Amino acid sequence: MTCRKTGCNHEFCWLCFGDWKEHNAHNCNRFIADDILEKQENAKIELNRYLHYFERYHNHLRSLALEHKLLEKIQERIEAMQKLKKSYTDQQTFLLAGNCLKECRHTLMFTYPFAFYLHPTNQSKTFEDNQSNLETAIEDLTGLLEKDLSDVNLIQKVQDKYRYCASRRKALLDHTKEGYKQDYWTGIDTFMTSYTLQQKHITPTKPERGVFPLDHEGECKETMLNYILCLAQNDNKYSKCQEESKIYFQCRMD
């Protein structure tokens, strides 16, 4: 058959919807279970991989949105230190630590979209190690900033930890910059040139038949309706319905 949409004229098989130019009539009527199951499994793996990076990106985004509460606590702590006649340097330690934490979390947030497009190499492993080190460091710093001033060594611990966080952030960024200069980042180059520099163009293709199976039994109908209802209530803003979307797609891939 031929698509009659203006400017299209794409020829396809009306049974399997495959491209007619590459069509094989001998395979059109055959159900190849192994191929379909393999494609479904690969699609599920790719979805889980996407969710892995998206969730970590989104967690840091949410943490940044709540960061002002931590900064308010830090300000209260500084005022308490003023009453205790602590030195100006000690007071500034907490303020510098709070700003450092915010910068590190902002950096980490964007490392996850970057890592998603990277192809596995020794350099990408180094990148992930730097990423992990910074993750651990900022969680330790967050814990210290929430501690009570009764710890006599707290100020020194906070100072040491925020300086360590700053050094780990610098190491992560320096390695990333070095990677661009030395062409370490295979995978990210295609993404950047396609979407940012627009030197390459990716032609969208329809999913393989059977990769995303139809919900004949209606097992995911409720989650689908929850997702659609959420979109309707939020002017079709996907960002407001990410949790509903995640639940729905997980249901479809299980």
198 pLDDT band, cuts 50/70/90, is very low
Q: Same domain for 132 and 57?
A: yes
In this prediction the pTM is 0.60
Mean model confidence pLDDT for the chain: 79
- Contact between 10 and 2 under an 8 Å Cβ cutoff? The reply is yes
Q: Same domain for 227 and 151?
A: no
Strand, coil or helix: what is 2?
strand
In a domain, 179, yes or no: yes
Give the count of beta carbons closer than 10 Å to the beta carbon of residue 92: 12
Tell me the CATH number at 68. Answer: 1.20.120.1750
Q: Can you give the pLDDT at residue 239?
A: 76
Question: Could you give the C-alpha distances from 214 to 24, 29, 75, 164, 235, in angstroms and in order?
Answer: 24, 19, 55, 51, 27
d(CA 106, CA 18): 45
Q: How many domains does the chain have?
A: 2
- Contact between 85 and 156 under an 8 Å Cβ cutoff? The reply is no
Q: Can you give the pLDDT at residue 73?
A: 80
Q: Can you give the pLDDT at residue 221?
A: 73
Give the count of beta carbons closer than 10 Å to the beta carbon of residue 129: 13
Within 13 Å of residue 131, how many CA atoms lie on the same side as its CB?
22
Q: Same domain for 136 and 229?
A: no
**For the residues 168-181, what does the mean pLDDT come to?**
93
**Nearest CA-CA partner of 168 in 130, 140, 122:** 130
Q: Can you give the pLDDT at residue 24?
A: 64
Q: Same domain for 47 and 97?
A: yes
User: Domain limits at 241?
Assistant: 221-253
In a domain, 100, yes or no: yes
In a domain, 31, yes or no: no
- Contact between 250 and 212 under an 8 Å Cβ cutoff? The reply is no
Q: Which of 182, 197, 212 is the last residue of a domain?
A: 197
- Contact between 81 and 114 under an 8 Å Cβ cutoff? The reply is no
Q: Same domain for 191 and 231?
A: no
14 or 127: which leads in pLDDT:
127
Q: Same domain for 54 and 102?
A: yes
Q: Same domain for 40 and 89?
A: yes
Q: Same domain for 129 and 233?
A: no
Q: Same domain for 146 and 240?
A: no
Q: Same domain for 172 and 245?
A: no
In a domain, 65, yes or no: yes
Q: What is the dihedral of CA 151, 153, 158, 164, to 10 degrees?
A: -140
Q: Same domain for 114 and 192?
A: yes
In a domain, 47, yes or no: yes
Q: Can you give the pLDDT at residue 127?
A: 95
Q: What DSSP designation does 207 have?
A: P
Q: If you search the block for the tokens 């501690």, which residue do you land on?
A: 147
